[in-house]
Amino acid sequence: MAYGAAPLFQDVSFTVSEGDRIGLIGPNGSGKSTLLGILAGHIHADGGDVAIRKHTKLSYVKQDSRFAPGDSIRSVIGQALQRAAVPQAEQEARLAETLGRTGFEDFEAEAAKLSGGWQKRLAIAEALVQHPDILLLDEPTNHLDLAGIEWLEALLENAAFACVVVSHDRYFLENVATEMAELNRAYPDGILRVHGNYSTFLEKKEEYLHAQAKHQEALENRVRTEIEWLRRGPKARATKAKARINQANEMISELADLNARTRTATAQIDFSATDRKTKRLIELDQIGYAIGGRTLFDGLDFAVTAGIRVGLVGPNGSGKTTLLRLLRGEISPRTGEIRRADFLRVVYFDQTRELDPELTLRRALAPESDSVVYQDRVVHVASWAARFLFTGEQLNQPLSRLSGGERARVLIAQLMLQPADVLLLDEPTNDLDIPTLEILEESLLEYRGALVLVTHDRYMLDRISTVVLGLDGQGGASTFADYSQWEAWQARREQPTRVARQERNAGSPREAASFPGKKKLSYLEAREFATIEQRIAEAEKLLQEKRAAFDDPAIVSDAARLIDANAELEQAQKIVDELYTRWAELTEKSS
């Protein structure tokens, strides 16, 4: 497939077999979505063939899920059933079963007014209801919340159909994929496919690239020898000399191709922090906010301090973006008070990525002239564009021609020109390829200012955040040491509901208790389990007190008191971690 003179990819061979769960990755612009569209039959390739077994049904979920205004959830699924020619007598049962599996309760809700995450769920339900043999998914985790991603993982792991998933979510690929394929011109066949999950793929890719580098080195040495021989002017009339000349030309051509394929570039991302010495930048004191009569959070106390990296998590609609807007000062809380340091500089990355589509890349990167000022240095727009992997030919293109990942890089380039005390990032990872994600992570780890990050990329959350602030969607909020603690807290809150559901399904509590193979707690473990939640609450309260004491400006200049406060904070954190670990063990044993 080619757009213009340069081929997107060529001579790519790709097979999907029964039961395959193929994770498809590759750099932005390598053609992953195009390849998926070719497999789905929505795009016609310039060359080659797509052979599909007779009667095979394919369903395709595009990257952006859009529904017509006025269409209800029921009508969207009903139209999909009609397209699949499902008999009328089966339609209602299949509709209810599919929407139930995907978590919908109100079938009459308007599809276009759903949140991005629920629109993505509906698009997946629309594909599933057709009972496909192959499901093609393009960036399905982009708008799903963490619970939605885990739901999709469970769905795909237990599915009878084959699937091909374009994704940059590394944990998702690790949990779901049984095959991995990378579309990249660095490979001779344009694609590298490995049996196994993402970790296995990384190991095999490293082995392959190492072997390719050794071959390239050996080829360079041989070509150097042949060029020296050619310079001596061998007589081409001799049969042996003619054969050697042909072989030398073939090696030179192979080396040129290898050099062109393996020449890679990476985006250069480096956010600028100010030199502010203030410790406490933003303080939330008993903050409350509600939308349409629904409380998002209430009585929220939190402090954004210098150097803190906050991972903000919660289900769709829990108020994560609203909290970022409050931190930014764009809106005011219904109750409570927000105190900000004087002359605070806040930089915000908007998940909607609103850019003027008619604006050229040149003007988006350098609005005032043909240069920008970055870290007190004047940089020409062409050099600035190259830093984010844009070519000189793209500078005069409108932004409407850019991919989602390229638009994300434009926004990151704009943010990097603004020194910040606090960096607010709302879903910066959507559409970014894995190499760019890794560079973004390195930049955020080196950033000296405060960071509040909303992302559904669990790998980035684990790697970046020093504290996790979790919103439960019902007005509550708590802080955690890491994402795994947040998951454990969520599971604990859901446990009573899950137990009640199991008892209803089993018929009675007595029947559920007698289920074969059920683990039981010992007498001492049962007593421990009965009190552990109270002990966790007390330990978390103590941790908050120790954290507040450590942040007290009065001890900053007293080295001895600062060391003692740090030791007490670490001990309090250790106790909380140990209690959560023990709680998880007892919960698993009792469930």
Task: Report pLDDT digits (tens) over 170-185.
Answer: 889 999 999 999 998 8
Q: What is the pLDDT of residue 514?
A: 30
307 sits in the region (left: phi over 0; alpha: psi -120 to 50; else beta) called left
Residue 13 lies in a domain: no
Is the same domain home to 193 and 218? no
With beta carbons less than 8 A apart as the criterion, state whether 528 and 536 touch.
Answer: no
Is the same domain home to 198 and 222? no
Is the same domain home to 388 and 414? yes
Where a domain ends, among 202, 236, 253?
A: 202
Distance CA 78, CA 375 (A): 56
459: exposed, middle or buried (C-beta count within 10 Å: 0-12, 13-18, 19+)? buried
pTM of structure = 0.65
What range defines the domain where residue 181 resides?
21-202
Distance CA 204, CA 443 (A): 27
The number of distinct structural domains making up the chain is: 4
> Rounded to 5 degrees, what angle do the CA atoms 533, 536, 537 make?
90
- Return the exposure string of 358-383: e unless at least 16 CB atoms fall within 10 Å of the residue's CB, then b: eeebbbbbbeeeeebebeeeebebbe
Residue 192 lies in a domain: yes
Residue 267 lies in a domain: no
For residue range 249-292, what is the model confidence (pLDDT) as tens digits? 666 666 666 666 666 556 667 666 676 777 889 999 999 998 87
Phi, psi of 194 (to 5 degrees): -135, 135
Residue 386: how many CB atoms within 10 A of its CB?
16
Where a domain ends, among 202, 230, 253?
A: 202
Residue 269 lies in a domain: no
Is the same domain home to 77 and 136? yes
Lowest mean pLDDT among 67-81, 130-144, 498-512: 498-512
Is the same domain home to 316 and 358? yes
Cα distances (angstroms) measured from residue 124 to each of 92, 118, 148, 317: 18, 10, 11, 19
Residue 210: how many CB atoms within 10 A of its CB?
10
Which CATH number belongs to the domain containing residue 565 in this structure? 1.10.287
Check the CA dihedral 500-502-508-511 and report its sign.
negative
Tell me: pLDDT of 207 over 80. Answer: yes
Distance CA 103, CA 116 (A): 15
pLDDT band at 432 (very low <50, low <70, confident <90, very high): confident
What torsion, rounded to 10 degrees, do the Cα atoms 379, 381, 385, 390 define? Answer: -150
Residue 8 lies in a domain: no
Amino acid identity at 408: A
Q: What is the pLDDT of residue 510?
A: 32
Q: Coil, strand, or helix at residue 150?
A: helix
Is the same domain home to 198 and 218? no
Is the same domain home to 296 and 441? yes
Q: What is the pLDDT of residue 402?
A: 80
Retrieve residue 510's tokens.
């007595």
Is the same domain home to 50 and 187? yes
Tell me: pLDDT of 17 over 90. Answer: yes
Which CATH number belongs to the domain containing residue 31 in this structure? 3.40.50.300
DSSP letters along 123-144, please? HHHHHHTT--SEEEEESTTSS-
Is the same domain home to 166 and 145? yes
Q: What is the pLDDT of residue 235?
A: 58
Residue 504 lies in a domain: no
Check the CA dihedral 37-38-44-46 and report its sign.
positive
Cα distances (angstroms) measured from residue 299 to each of 337, 392, 477, 585: 10, 52, 9, 31
For residue range 544-590, what is the model confidence (pLDDT) as tens digits? 888 878 777 677 666 677 777 777 888 888 888 787 777 777 777 76
Max intra-chain CA distance, the chain: 96
Residue 489 lies in a domain: no
Residue position matching structure tokens 């008993």? 286
For residue range 497-547, what is the model confidence (pLDDT) as tens digits? 545 444 444 443 333 333 233 345 665 666 677 778 778 888 888 888 888
Q: Coil, strand, or helix at residue 382?
A: helix
Where a domain ends, among 202, 224, 254?
A: 202
Residue 16 lies in a domain: no
Query: In sequence order, what E strands does 12-145 have?
Result: 21-25, 58-61, 134-138
CA nearest to 548, candidates 515, 526, 572: 572
DSSP category for residue 112:
G
Query: In sequence order, what E strands does 260-376 have?
Result: 280-291, 294-305, 309-313, 335-340, 346-349, 371-374
Tell me: pLDDT of 36 over 80. Answer: yes
With beta carbons less than 8 A apart as the criterion, state whether 122 and 98 touch.
Answer: no
Distance CA 466, CA 481 (A): 7
Distance CA 262, CA 265 (A): 10
Is the same domain home to 288 and 230? no
CA nearest to 437, candidates 201, 199, 266: 266
Distance CA 223, CA 229 (A): 10
Is the same domain home to 454 and 542? no
Q: What is the pLDDT of residue 336?
A: 92
Is the same domain home to 76 and 219? no
